[in-house]
Chain A
Amino acid sequence: MSPDFSIIGKPTAMVDAAEKTTGAGKYTDDLSVPGMLIGKILHSPYPHARIDRIDSTRAEKLEGVVAVVIGKDAPNPYGILPVGHDEHALALDRVRYVGDNVACVVATSEAVAEKALELIDVEYEVLPAYFDPEESMKAQTDLIHDNKPYNLEKDYHHVFGDPDQGFVEADEVSEARFISNEVTHAAMEPHSTLASFELDPHTGKPGRLTVWSSTQVPYYLQHKLSLVLEMPMAQIRVIKPLVGGGFGGKSEVIPLEIIAAIAARKAQAPVKITYTREEVFWAHRGRPRTIIDLKTGVKKDGRITAVKARVVQDGGAYCSYGVVTILYSGALLGALYDIPNIQYDGYRVLTNKPACGAMRGHGTVNVRFAFESQLDELAAKIGMDSAEIRRRNLLQPPCITVNGLRVQSYGLPECIEKTVERSGWKQRKGKLPKGRGLGIACSHYVSGAANSIIRSDMPHSTVNIKIDRDGGVVVYTGASEIGQGSDTMTAQVAAETLGCTLSRVRVIAADTDLTPIDIGSYSSRVTFMAGNATLRAAAEVKKLIAAAAAKKMNCATDDLVFRDDAVVRKNGHAGTDHVGTAAVGRPAERSEAAASVSGHVEGQILRGSLQQKRKDQGPKDSLTFEEAVVAAIDFHGALTGTGSYAPPPEARGGKHKGAGVGPSPAYSYSAQVAEVSVDEETGEVTVHKVWAAHDCGRALNPVSVEGQIIGSVWMGMGQALTEEMVWKDGMLMNPGLLEYRSPSSIESPEVEPIIVESIDPEGPFGAKECSEGSLAATIPAIANAIYDAVGVHLHESPFTPERVLAAIRARKNSKALNLTEGVDPTAPTRFREHGGSLWFKGKGPERHPLDPARSQTPTGGAD
């Protein structure tokens, strides 16, 4: 039976909900400060070029232009990973993708700044460019970064167990190439940064810098600003206002954040830069298009004997999180199923496209699509139900996987069981009408990385709590609310631990001047790590309160129960009855009563007389929260607590090269069944429903957990069906929300979230992550459902109608049509390139020596 919490586990409106529903809440672009100027960025029109000269004279003369900033104004390189400091906020002498940052105009208005951009003269020397990662890996000359031979950012080669022997022992082996096309976060809020310097009262010169930014990682931003601006971190304050969605797209330092600060320094005025939607696409850092060559062996009983994966990621022009992404892709082959033998070869390749980075389900999603699809194909080969084959390969936790990942709580069996049951799998699978099908798939994700990207022994999260005589609980946390509910989680954990009401708790978050360090909202780490830090801080304060209350109540601290805004003695007359059902459900009433006891009654302060009265009564059986707080402050002098969290050494993984990525203190688990129908004449896929079970350890706030599960499944569905960044020689053909098709309500299915609680031994109240792990299962669940419906295995995502139709027609031996630009979606060999041409008879920019337009007329021409 689950413990009886008063706040944890209860559906709770987010603490910032009213700000969001009234429009009162401020996002970065909603802010303005006196004297604020607007910055606009000039972007490269070429995918790869040397900058010979930048002349901004004409722009500077335009009325309203205050400054023009170029690379030389801040030449220090940076990058989110210590091993990947390969970016300059503004290009020094090279541009590496269409959209790379060349200069920034600061002006009195957006319109003037935009006009000035057209007056900056840049001389480029165009260089050969690389767009396909497999081609890029052959490069000898014109490297994208001079210190990266073969344009290879990083490669890893891991062997665990004996994969060759594993394949020998297998009864069935499948081997195929899978391709996932590129997707991006497309958070609704375009990135925005406002930077402002203060004049130092002592030197009279510009001193401290304050930056408001739409970031998931305020502390990393503070760190990188310090590097580039050559200022001490203590002189830089980063404040994160409300953030309109991140999904990883704001989990590293984005060029505009640095540019705004450099611009503010040069313009000697506050500068705000907000990206256009097109610039958001160029800033990107999304999920790279990926080639996965996958081989899996199974025994007739369904047991997996070995897995071999070769993964090539088209990483774009800069490292970004790339080294981590390629490692996650290999490491998270483990920790979902029991796989005895794994070989992994991962290549992160540079190309002349916007940099890819971390996106929801970082590194796992595309490989999971391949793996879960192949597992279904193998199940069919050995004649086993596809839910059953997954059950045959479960881990036996607690355990450490062959690649060094520690698994403790493991709700996957229950996830499979529940989705199978709720979806009517056993009764309906294989029995649906033609064109309709069911598919199942599983996935998992880390609850925070066990090793920080900046190697140090510092805690990953620290939280301070202050309680004053007013009884108000203020929690200071560096954790970044980005819409996932981090502030609400923090308030819940603090309130539950202290036994006070939620309305008492005020969360001050993500302001580097006020809040202790938290490394940010990424890799689904906040609930687990900041949650634990909050728990510890609250427990520390609680201990102080308990000591004072116990003294007042003449009992041992162990006899005290903190709950519903009161501290009561377990065996007193108000005892367990009072703590139990009676108090539940009436927190508002109780807090009102409490307020009148210690505070104001009809405008008069009665504290003195009340205290006198209490003295007369002798020791009590209960104290209100405020009374207990006042007693504690009287007793200790001040009431503050600090808690921090660092992952335990046992959870930090193995010793091999690259072992640092993948380990987590706990993993979430997900199993999903998707029901789809496929129109065999058009290839259109409709997802009718997804049943999604997710093991989140414990659901601290069920309404949020369900929202995160649904949102993850939905975003996975977008990648499965409609979302795709379409490229032509490094030009992004669809840099807007009109052509990059994030699903609308019409084609978004009902998602039935099923919460599974495995109660992790180390999670706060047993909680693990719930915001990312479900995404990866959705894509293969839909792929497998399409197979069930129409009998085609799609190996290329997204499953756009043209790809699905091409696969169906090929199976039916219908008249051949070139529906998919020469790439067979059931056996893709290369990435799709958009049709048309950038090159013609020497006119216009030449893009690629292999441009097909040189020898071919376009398809579908005027025949």
Chain B
Amino acid sequence: MKKQLIELRVNGRTYEVATEPSALLLDVLRQELQLTGSKRGCDDSSCGACTVLVDGVAMMSCTLLAASCEGQEITTIEGVSEHGSLAAIQKAYGDWGGAQCGYCTPGFIMTVKSLLAENPDPTGDDIRAALSSNLCRCTGYNQMYEAIRSAIQAERKGLAAAK
């Protein structure tokens, strides 16, 4: 199949990429744009390691055609750090043991980003439900909860300090 030129908006930048129509967003991110932070963990859209934001909504990049995302704003884990520093959620995942092997971590962080964007003050049950989109094999999820709670607090402190 002939490759076609598509235009993707990723992490605020525009890329022209030549891809086959059957190319998945995940493969284009990883192989064409070298954004290897999004991971492939399964082949049946069950694990969530490839989660990215599409127009702010968490989606699995292994289940989206790249060409189908033209005109949409894609955010990957590489677009999460703020002003060259770790975002609060990234720092907290490190401090609280939210990441062990780290393979599922980018997907989880994208899921948490989208959760906090729509619900800055989630209950424990809200967090548990949101995390159920992603599988982790190391942590048993417990330390992620602590990380997320701590990140929410850090964000709040940061906001208060900025006022």
Contacts and interface: CB of A to CB of B under 8 A. Distances in A.
B80 interface: yes
Given A21-B105, A186-B137, A751-B142, A736 B43 contact: yes
A483 B100 contact: yes
Interface in A181-195: 185-190
A348 to B, nearest CB: 26
Interface string B98-120: 01111111100100000000000
Nearest to A716: B140
Nearest to A14: B94
B41 A277 contact: yes
B141 to A, nearest CB: 5
Given A710-B139, A711-B100, A276 B43 contact: yes
21 contacts: A17-B95, A17-B99, A21-B106, A21-B109, A23-B76, A23-B106, A188-B47, A188-B137, A189-B103, A244-B41, A277-B44, A703-B95, A707-B138, A711-B139, A715-B137, A717-B140, A737-B135, A738-B42, A742-B137, A745-B129, A751-B142
Main secondary structure on B side of the interface with A: loop
Interface stretch (A25-33, A435-443, A532-540, A572-580): A25-33
Contact of A245 (B45, B76, B137): B137
A111 B3 CA distance: 14
A21 B100 CA distance: 10
A748 interface: yes
Given A23-B78, A24-B37, A277-B44, 17 more contacts: A13-B95, A21-B99, A22-B80, A27-B39, A188-B104, A189-B103, A244-B39, A244-B41, A277-B42, A710-B139, A715-B140, A737-B44, A737-B47, A738-B44, A745-B129, A745-B131, A751-B140
Given A18-B86, A20-B99, A189 B46 contact: no
A245 B103 contact: yes
A711 B96 CA distance: 14
Given A17-B93, A187-B101, A751-B140, A745 B46 contact: no
Contacts of B139: 707, 710-711, 714
Contacts of B86: 18, 21-22
Interface string B68-100: 000000001110110000100111011111011
Contacts of A242: 101-103
| 5 closest residue pairs by CB, A with B | A23-B37, A483-B101, A20-B102, A714-B140, A244-B103
Given A20-B102, A188-B47, A189-B103, A711 B93 contact: no
A24 B112 CA distance: 18
B61 interface: no
A278 interface: yes
B30 interface: yes
Interface in A701-726: 703-704, 706-707, 710-711, 713-715, 717
- Looking at A22, A278, A751, which has the most chain B CB atoms within 10 Å of its CB? A22
A198 interface: no
B96 A189 contact: no
A337 interface: no
Given A189-B41, A745-B128, A710 B47 contact: no
Contacts of B143: 703, 706-707, 710
Contacts of B128: 745-746
Contacts of A717: 140
Nearest to A187: B137
B94 A188 contact: no
A179 to B, nearest CB: 24
A278 to B, nearest CB: 7
A243 B97 CA distance: 17
B136 interface: yes
A30 B30 contact: yes
A604 interface: no
Contacts of A18: 86, 90, 94
B153 interface: no
Contacts of B41: 188-190, 244, 277, 737
A706 B140 CA distance: 11
Contacts of B58: none
A203 interface: no
Contacts of B35: 23
B20 to A, nearest CB: 8
B100 A707 contact: yes
A485 B102 CA distance: 11
B132 interface: yes
Nearest to A701: B97
A16 interface: yes
Interface in A656-711: 703-704, 706-707, 710-711
Nearest to B77: A23
A498 to B, nearest CB: 24
A328 interface: no
Contacts of A704: 97
B43 A277 contact: yes
A748 B103 contact: no
Contacts of A21: 86, 89-91, 93-94, 99, 102, 105-106, 109
A807 interface: no
A167 interface: no
A713 B140 contact: yes
Contacts of A17: 93-95, 99, 102
A147 interface: no
B132 A746 contact: yes
B36 A26 contact: yes
A11 B147 CA distance: 14
A745 B44 contact: no
B99 A14 contact: yes
A278 B104 CA distance: 18
B102 A244 contact: yes
A22 B141 contact: no
Interface string A731-770: 0000011100010111010110000000000000000000
Contacts of A19: 102
Contacts of A277: 41-44
Nearest to B92: A21
Contact of B46 (A24, A244, A737, A746): A737
B77 A736 contact: no
- Looking at B36, B49, B100, B109, which has the most chain A CB atoms within 10 Å of its CB? B100
A794 interface: no
- Looking at A23, A710, A717, A738, which has the most chain B CB atoms within 10 Å of its CB? A23
A70 interface: no
A244 B90 CA distance: 18
Contact of B100 (A276, A485, A736, A745): A485
Contacts of B46: 736-738
Given A189-B103, A483-B102, A750-B142, A23 B38 contact: yes
Given A25-B102, A190-B41, A13 B94 contact: yes
